[in-house]
Amino acid sequence: MHDFLPVCRQDMEARGWEQCDFVYVTGDAYVDHPSFGTAIISRLLEARGFRVGILAQPDWRDDHAFRILGRPRLGFLVSAGNMDSMVNHYSVSRKRRREDLYTPGGITGRRPDYATIVYCNRIRAVYKDIPIIIGGIEASLRRLAHYDYWSNRLKRSVLLDSQADLISYGMGEHSIVEIAEALEAGIDVKQITFVDGTVYRTRSLENLYEYELLPDYEDMKRDKREYARSFAIQYRNTDPFTGKRLAEPYRGRGYMEYVIQNPPSKPLSREEMDEVYGFSYMRSYHPAYEKEGGVPAMQEIRFSLISSRGCFGACSFCALTFHQGRIIQSRSHESLIEEARLLTEDPDFKGYIHDVGGPTANFRFPACKKQETKGACPDRQCLFPTPCKNLNADHGDYIELLRKLRALPKVKKVFIRSGIRFDYLLADKSRAFLRELCEHHVSGQLKVAPEHVSDAVLKRMGKPENAVYRQFVREYQRMNRQLGKDQYLVPYLMSSHPGSTLREAVELAEYLRELGYMPEQVQDFYPTPSTISTCMYYTGLDPRTMEPVPVPVNPHEKAMQRALIQYRDPKNHELVAEALRLAGRKDLIGYDKKCLIRPARGEGKLPESESNHSKQKAGRKTIRNVHQKKKKG
């Protein structure tokens, strides 16, 4: 039956089901599209013969909402949705967002804060002993003790607070099938301790082998240095080939309990990637949402193609290393072309494929051959601080794919919007991709993410030196001139990242002055769970080196750093002036071309040079007036 999965008893009856094998509870609206983790996992289980029902955004205040599909035969699957529920709900200033793109009509308030915990506790209250497996990005990034920005404290593993039995972390296809098959075979969920890509709890380490003991949770709460040490161990064990089991101790009343993280699941093969993205998705939101205007997030992905997952860029502020991993997994050309053909058959398709990419669009293969069998280096990054000598930076396959997609009937233009790594592009000795990009895949503006210009800040971000970005700018402009195109770069910039003091923020403002550009929006650094940058924000230490890092945590200082990036906005004048005074850069307040802002009214005399200039200007005006009077006479 090619239809949405059951969301009510009537849907189950239409399929002839008396009971679901699994009920999937999600904090997002039900969208049956491969950009949504709920759709992928539920369709994968369906393909393996399991019956899956969907409870999308159930009312967590009402027990009945969790009984709609009845008690599942094997267990509940729970996810907060495509985003961490706290990121979904709150801006970096901790203000409530006005729109939820993953909810019908963009309405807010359809899911609780800390949704994974709340949903699981409600299920546990209703069904007591039912197996509960949690997954998705919220559970994945909170699988061990983590800093929670919204409560400003170190929190326990979400496994403990949710009362769930297992976490399926990462992308989850391998682990969820293995868990489902174990439950089907009659294995008690508490005995499922052997699956890679999972986290479980135990009171004994007797049967555990080849593991590393993390610092005790209570010790981490007392000493931030212990948390930084723990995070460094976790980060070194995110690779599916070299990662060890990790045991995190928690002290109970008279006993010790351990949260055990098994090594990550192995990457999907290309055949598996093709299978996962080739299921018969409905490719839309559930029709029940039509009356509310649909699900806003669908608009951005409706005519886009996911060509890969994983990222070896390893930016410090990004959680992809912990969730998707550093090893690139990609789909075949045939799989992507088949999906593109489906897009062209949509009556609303206007000829434009909005994106072909993944976390980083121009990553199509593992960074080097070694990663395919031995994993990513635990002590070396592929691009930072400079590209590894073993890096394969060949864009040939991606170019070929884009050409095939452009050649499809009904396709007018193929855009690349998911972002490119300009340092990886430059590492490719050929400039064929740069030409292809500028000639065919830019819609007047290309968004890139240098993030900052200060090398001191870029070092903490895990980004290339500013000289690399400047080289890319020159080559991008030169290529567009050769092609006779008038296309621009729009840089994404981040304020208040760990390592950025007012001095570095001023350096960024001066760069923008040279550029003649003021961003309309500025992204403050957002400390989300399980990133190196968040660890730096909380501990004041770089977990990779244990070096102290200056961290802007005061809201007023963060406001000043943000204002410096938008120094031309009159609303920011006072903050910019204060920042420049505190940074010892009063030379940037004045009337010279190099100045960022002018003095406020009544803020003292003009500089001597400017004063003389004004007198000369007034004198010339007087002479003109005299000459005009003589002519009239």
Mean pLDDT of 362-381: 93
Distance CA 373, CA 383 (A): 20
CA distances to 133, 278, 396 from 414, rounded to whole Å, are 39, 21, 17
Distance CA 162, CA 76 (A): 13
Measured in residues, the chain has a length of 633
Q: With H, G, I as helix, E, B as strand and everything else as coil, classify residue 528.
A: coil
pLDDT at 557 over 50: yes
Q: Cα-flanking dihedrals φ and ψ of residue 197, to 5°? A: 80, 20
Render pLDDT for 381-424 as a digit per residue (tens, 0 to 9): 999 999 999 999 999 999 999 999 999 999 999 999 988 999 99
> Residue 252: which residues within 8 A CB-CB, separation 6 or more?
none
Q: At what angle do helices 333-344 and 396-406 cross, to 10 degrees?
A: 30
Distance CA 79, CA 27 (A): 6
How many C-beta atoms surround the C-beta of residue 56 within 10 A? 24
Beta strands 245-251; 256-261: pairing state:
antiparallel
> Residue 33: which residues within 8 A CB-CB, separation 6 or more?
39, 281, 282, 283, 284, 298, 301, 302
Mean pLDDT of 602-621: 46
Look up residue 448 and give its two tokens. 């890139």
Beta strands 198-202; 256-261: pairing state:
antiparallel
Render pLDDT for 32-51 as a digit per residue (tens, 0 to 9): 999 999 999 999 999 999 99
Distance CA 604, CA 618 (A): 20
Angle at 40 between CA 36 and CA 44, to 5 degrees: 170
Per the CB < 8 A criterion, the answer to whether 89 and 97 are in contact is: yes
* Segments in 143-266 forming alpha helices (H): 158-162, 173-184, 217-222, 224-236
| pLDDT tier, 521 (very low <50, low <70, confident <90, very high otherwise) | confident
Percent of the chain with pLDDT over 70: 95
What's the burial of 439, exposed, middle or buried (CB within 10 Å: 0-12/13-18/19+)? middle
Distance CA 454, CA 464 (A): 10
pLDDT at 119: 98
pLDDT at 418: 87
pLDDT at 612: 45
In sequence order, the β-bridge partners of residue 212 are 246
pLDDT at 60 over 60: yes
pLDDT at 623 over 60: no
Distance CA 462, CA 383 (A): 9
Distance CA 8, CA 23 (A): 11
Lowest mean pLDDT among 330-344, 450-464, 601-615: 601-615
> Residue 383: which residues within 8 A CB-CB, separation 6 or more?
312, 313, 314, 391, 421, 423, 424, 427, 464
Mean pLDDT of 263-286: 97
> Residue 515: which residues within 8 A CB-CB, separation 6 or more?
none
Among 193, 202, 75, 85, smallest CA distance to 134 is for: 75
Mean pLDDT of 141-166: 98
Render pLDDT for 469-478 as a digit per residue (tens, 0 to 9): 999 999 999 9
Percent of the chain with pLDDT over 90: 90
Distance CA 374, CA 332 (A): 22
Among 22, 25, 1, smallest CA distance to 11 is for: 1
CATH topology of domain 270-588: pyruvate-formate lyase- activating enzyme (3.80.30)
pLDDT at 303: 97
> Residue 460: which residues within 8 A CB-CB, separation 6 or more?
316, 497, 498, 499, 533, 536, 542, 549
| pLDDT tier, 602 (very low <50, low <70, confident <90, very high otherwise) | low
pLDDT at 317 over 50: yes
Mean pLDDT of 522-543: 96
Among 460, 458, 452, 449, smallest CA distance to 533 is for: 460
Which residue is it, tokens 């200060």? 454
Buried b / exposed e over 363-383, threshold 16 CB at 10 Å, is bbbbbbeebeeebbbeeebbb
On whether the 9-197 domain is CATH 3.50.50.60, my answer is no
Look up residue 178 and give its two tokens. 């293995």
How many C-beta atoms surround the C-beta of residue 598 within 10 A? 13
Mean pLDDT of 581-605: 88
In sequence order, the β-bridge partners of residue 25 are 55, 78
Mean pLDDT of 570-576: 96
pLDDT at 501: 97
Lowest mean pLDDT among 293-302, 422-431, 601-610: 601-610
Distance CA 230, CA 265 (A): 21
**Strand order across the 523-524 sheet:** 445-451, 488-495, 523-524
Helix or strand holding residue 512 (H, E): helix 502-515
Look up residue 187 and give its two tokens. 């294995």
How many C-beta atoms surround the C-beta of residue 572 within 10 A? 19
The per-residue pLDDT of the chain, averaged, comes to 93
| pLDDT tier, 620 (very low <50, low <70, confident <90, very high otherwise) | very low
Render pLDDT for 485-507 as a digit per residue (tens, 0 to 9): 999 999 999 999 999 999 999 99
Domain residue extents for the chain: 9-197, 270-588, 608-633
Compute CA 326 distance to the chain's CA centroid, rounded to the nearest angstrom.
Answer: 14
CA distances to 360, 424, 428 from 432, rounded to whole Å, are 18, 13, 9
Look up residue 15 and give its two tokens. 């399929």
pTM of the full structure? 0.92
| pLDDT tier, 603 (very low <50, low <70, confident <90, very high otherwise) | low
Report DSSP state, residue 96. B
Mean pLDDT of 143-156: 98
| pLDDT tier, 109 (very low <50, low <70, confident <90, very high otherwise) | very high
Distance CA 607, CA 178 (A): 74
Per the CB < 8 A criterion, the answer to whether 172 and 197 are in contact is: yes
Lowest mean pLDDT among 228-242, 446-460, 508-522: 508-522
| pLDDT tier, 2 (very low <50, low <70, confident <90, very high otherwise) | confident
Q: Name the CA radius of gyration of the chain, rounded.
A: 28
pLDDT at 100 over 80: yes
Between residues 59 and 517, the one the model is more confident about? 59
